[in-house]
Structure 1
Amino acid sequence: MNTAENGLTAPCSILTSSTANLNLNSDQNIVAAYLYWAGSGTGDLTISLNDIEVTAERTFSDALDVDRVFFAAFADVTTIINELGNTNYTLSNFDLTDVISTYCPTGTNFAGWAITIIYEDLSLPLNQLNVYDGLQSVPTFLSITLDNLNVLDNENAKIGFIAWEGDSGISVNEQLTINGSVISNFPLNPANNAFNGTNSFTGATDLYNMDIDVYNIQNNINIGDTSATISLTSGQDFVMINNVITVLNSQLPDATITTEDYIVNCGDNTIELFYTVHNTNSTAILTANTPISFYYNNVLIGQSETQNDIAINDHENNSVLLTLPNDATANVSLIASVDDSGNMTGVVTETNENNNITTFEIELLIIPETTLLPTILGCNEGFETSSYNLYEALESIEYDVEDVTFFNSLEDLETNSHAILIPSDYTNTSNPETVFVRLASPPCYEVFQFNLAIENCPPHIPQGFSPNNDTKNDWFNIQGLYDIFTEHELQIYNRYGNLIYKGNNSKPWYGIINRGLNNKGKTVPVGTYYYILNLNDPNYTPFMGWVYVNY
């Protein structure tokens, strides 16, 4: 924006707009475009680019003293440049005319702008490009350390600057060094006058108070370097560095990961995940044992690693078992991160460190809450056991027999193992006993639960028996009594009302007399005998009746 180099005879005026032309090749695709503008004073932070209003996204400041302050501003204009393409770009509404008058007497009045274009050209080797910005000044000494470098190949390495307020007529001890070595580009940028109002790209020498310079630093950095130090000395000229760009030949892998498929089982929080690690858009192999980490709610839940070296533009398939916490919901979002040691940091230097992560959704097969069914009661058949038809518990639900399986434990149900083989004729093993039901309900199943319980049903008392030792009906076989009502007492009386027998759970009646003085041990004669059966069960009163004994 300056019309002449500052000095005592220079006009104290400044432009409010200027134009520059962009002319990229057709195969050079714009990746990013950054607009920088700077000048005397505290700043004009809203300007226009081809009549499109642009407001500073970041600002920087510097000062020579309390009265002479300077500003610089930054805005990402990638969208504008991509839309307009190769054309003339006019920056306007940049008005410092009311500010510079106090700066003119000391020759520090200036304004200017530049757009840094980062483009992709497939015919060029892959480069690592770093952009550093801020606003730092000299005299008399300025040192800037550039971090995050990864010098794998220093061939044709370059460094570029946007600097403000340099004067071609001032070259007092003005020297630019990289890692301690002086750099220059004679005759455009002499070793003793690096910032002299020139443009290395166009060869222009009339930028006036601004420099756009680029240098080859192939001999100033070494393979393996991770940083570089820029130093500037000046005995008189006041120079401000606004932007530094490094371009390094980059032979690196680029690890990315995609998820292909997964397997989940009903009611199980363990997932078998199938994934692919790619080494696309790379210039070197991705070595084996590159770590991979998996996260749920930002918590590490599993790790893996590549098995083999992955060639450029190749890939490797693998799978991993991941276990989610028990409180995970049905739909979960997971993160797969390659080149990740488990703390979101990597061990492999890549061409792109920002594409290692993929997010994917998984639907767990959640089992519905267990439904309780009514208890099945069975008559005690002795020692608190009974036979059951387990299908009777399912009367309240609709089902197909082939979809139903019964189990003795929930663990067996979940693993679908050790099913009850004959559900229609099942004998319990405890009282009460819980039975679990697995009902197929694709893609999963439903779970039901019911109890088997025992009740002492009324005994069946026969009307007679024949104790003749023919092994048929030889005793008073009261069914549903023995080993069920274990505390019962049986009394037998003859027709005269005399007690002739008393028995219990261990003494059934075979027609033998065990009471009285004269007939103990004798078999009763044919006839009708009166019985009293006291079950000693609070649910039943004594049973009384007649039984006929015949031989």
Structure 2
Amino acid sequence: MVLMCNFRPQRFYLVKTKLQNLLFIVGLLVSGVAGAQEVTLYEQFNGRYDFVFFGNTLNPHENGSGFPCQTLTQASAALNLAPTDVIAKAYLYWAGSGTGDFNVKLNGIDITPDRTFSHLSNTAGLKYFSAFKDVTQQIIDTGNGDYLLSELDVSEFLVPGSTYCGNATNFAGWAIVVVYENPALPINQLNVYDGLQGVPNQLTITLDNLNVIDNEGAKIGFVAWEGDRLIANNETLRINGILVGNPPLNPTNNAFNGTNSFTNSNTLYNMDLDVYDIQGYIDIGDVSAEIRLTSGQDVVMINTVVTKLNSQLPDATIAIDNIQLPCESREITVDYTVYNVDCTNELPAPARIAVFVDDFYLASTQTTGEIPIGGSESGQITLTIPDIIPDPFELRFSVDNDGNGNGGIVELEESNNDFVTTVAFPVVPEYHALPEVLACNEGLGAGTYNFSGHRDLVVTDPAHGVSFHETLADAQSGQNPILNTENYTATASPTEVFVRIEGPTCYAITSFLLRTRNCPPTVYNYISANEDGYNDDFFIDGLRDIFLNFKLSVYNRWGQLVWMGNNNMPNWTGNNNQGFIPLDGRTPDGTYFYILELNDPDYPAPLKGYLYYKK
């Protein structure tokens, strides 16, 4: 299985080049303004990548050799990649004498630049230009074959007697930098630098963002303009102070001499597509390289530099995916993902993760397994935010960080380990306290309640939603609401009802009690004990299983106690259990007197009355 990293543009360099374009446009409008764009990192690739240049000059012959001062308007070149090479990016550069021609065609397709560059010669005061276009999709669609760049016309600057012709700096040309992937390649770090800088006498360019792990196969390529084969006046190229050459194509005293290292051509008049092996010129562990160019006479301009270095390192980044913010709590749950994307090696475990709130170190966690190239690992952590931390606050997750800024893993990029976001606790809706609801005890604490009016009582904002629930868990989740709030039966007293008040961003939970009271019993004082199902016993509604300690005494008309009962005994049906008991156990028909002692603090006095009994 072949592991390959994805690539991502270095966005801060893209922003810089847009600023450079603006400066160049301003420079075109203001006469006499000198300018040049430093060669800086444009994009970085990490994986099984390599590069190739192809392009052509529009100069039909060498400058200053007695030929007419002219350039063509079109020229072709061929791209030849292996069948297993997969194009990742393709960048078109075109350049020439003058302030610029920024409308050209590539294989008949109109091209306008994404970015432009300019250079003003300090010696002759002449302007030169370069333009850039990302043509990746066109190159992918066309593939190998011939490419024709046309309608690049700088002839207005090359009229007879012009200074460009007089000092032999008339030129135009184009080049395409192709970055490609191949599973057979080693894992490399490939950097594309661009700008437009001239070499009046000496030019030093520092190539940063390097990470050299193994210098085997290291190489550097240049897209340069206005180099002359016939001018070899102290024209040198040094990398980290070491003189570089590739003779016979590129002698050490004439580095930029109209050659193409990819085709071995020495007739690429006034432009160079050169590549050099720098395995012996750069050391393992280097994070930058210095390029120094000298020219005693030639007006050489560097447009693009590409480096390829073997660099097998992980690159840990982290993202906060989701934050669960519970209402009425400072405990949050954070879902996060650690990535190893812009990398050239696996990310070992464990990679420590430090958590900060407003720069206060709060907690730590770590990855659990090795993360492959292009892979990721997700995790979750629950954090309790201290009360001293204000709301809102800044939440920062930092991977490969022990909490003191120390990392234990060597990475390709050490400055992209943080993810920062602002967290604000949700606003909990305000509400009113609710009174308890009373109902008559229907037995053993059961009652039927109407608390529908509590919906309006609890809210401070009529737009807030309200739901009632039997459990706190249901209220917190918003599930299983009580639907019948006008006729709700509770089997115990007291019963707590939970209320969820739903606001725009959060909810609040409150509750109230349902409580029964013992209502006065109702005495039905007629007994017809004929077992017809009607009035067969002495029934007192609202007594049994409500007044659990009641005592009921029944007396005959002469004041003699004939029956005594309580909650554990059946109702009186006319049978005697006190005093004289008739043979049939039944008391005679007639009027009787009862005394009901409820033994309830709300009813200290007994209830007394008459009842009529009939067999």
Please state which band the TM-score falls in when normalised by the shorter chain: 0.5 to 0.7
Q: How many residues align?
A: 417
Cα deviation code 1:245-274 (max 9, x no counterpart):
111001111335577888665544533335
Structure 2 matches for 1:394-543, cutoff 5 A?
A: 394-396=451-453, 403-404=470-471, 437-439=497-499, 447-448=509-510
- The TM-score normalised by the length of structure 1 is 0.63
Query: Does the 8 A contact of 1:127 with 1:250 survive in 2?
Result: yes
Deviation of the 1:43 alpha carbon = 0.8
Alignment-derived partner of residue 13 in structure 1? 70
Matched, 1:71 2:71: no
Structure 1 pair 441/68, CA: closer, same or farther in 2 (3 Å)?
closer
> Matches of 1:370 and 1:295 in 2, distance apart?
34
Alignment-derived partner of residue 457 in structure 1? none
Deviation of the 1:405 alpha carbon = 6.4
> Matches of 1:400 and 1:188 in 2, distance apart?
84
2:223 pairs with 148, 153, 162, which one?
162
Matched, 1:189 2:250: yes
1:61 pairs with 118, 122, 128, which one?
118
Alignment-derived partner of residue 88 in structure 1? 146
**Unaligned ranges ≥5, structure 1:** 379-387, 407-421, 427-434, 453-551
> Matches of 1:308 and 1:374 in 2, distance apart?
52
Alignment-derived partner of residue 52 in structure 2? none
Alignment-derived partner of residue 28 in structure 1? 85
Alignment-derived partner of residue 260 in structure 2? 199
> Matches of 1:26 and 1:404 in 2, distance apart?
67
> Matches of 2:200 and 2:421 in 1, distance apart?
54
- The TM-score normalised by the length of structure 2 is 0.57
Alignment-derived partner of residue 370 in structure 2? 310
- Letter aligned with residue 306 of structure 1: Q
> Matches of 1:23 and 1:174 in 2, distance apart?
31
Alignment-derived partner of residue 417 in structure 1? none
> Matches of 2:82 and 2:243 in 1, distance apart?
33
Deviation of the 1:150 alpha carbon = 0.9
Structure 1 pair 233/49, CA: closer, same or farther in 2 (3 Å)?
same
Alignment-derived partner of residue 243 in structure 1? 304
Deviation of the 1:58 alpha carbon = 2.1
**Unaligned ranges ≥5, structure 2:** 1-57, 440-444, 456-465, 474-489, 515-615
Query: Does the 8 A contact of 1:438 with 1:446 survive in 2?
Result: no
Structure 1 pair 445/240, CA: closer, same or farther in 2 (3 Å)?
closer
Alignment-derived partner of residue 175 in structure 2? 114
Structure 2 matches for 1:292-303, cutoff 5 A?
A: 292=353
Query: Does the 8 A contact of 1:200 with 1:212 survive in 2?
Result: yes
> Matches of 2:361 and 2:296 in 1, distance apart?
60
Query: Does the 8 A contact of 2:327 with 2:508 survive in 1?
Result: no
143-152 vs 265-274, greater mean Cα deviation: 265-274
> Matches of 2:349 and 2:255 in 1, distance apart?
47
Q: Give the share of equivalent positions with the same residue, in percent.
A: 46
Q: Which has the larger radius of gyration?
A: 1
Query: Does the 8 A contact of 1:367 with 1:447 survive in 2?
Result: no
SS in 2 for 1:319: strand
Cα deviation code 1:139-182 (max 9, x no counterpart):
32111111111111111110110111111111112211111111
Structure 1 pair 75/451, CA: closer, same or farther in 2 (3 Å)?
same
Deviation of the 1:123 alpha carbon = 1.1
Deviation of the 1:13 alpha carbon = 1.6
Query: Does the 8 A contact of 1:300 with 1:342 survive in 2?
Result: no
Structure 1 pair 226/369, CA: closer, same or farther in 2 (3 Å)?
same
SS in 2 for 1:43: coil
SS in 1 for 2:212: coil
Alignment-derived partner of residue 492 in structure 1? none
- Letter aligned with residue 214 of structure 1: V
2:203 pairs with 124, 136, 142, which one?
142
Cα deviation code 1:106-136 (max 9, x no counterpart):
1110011101111111210111111111122
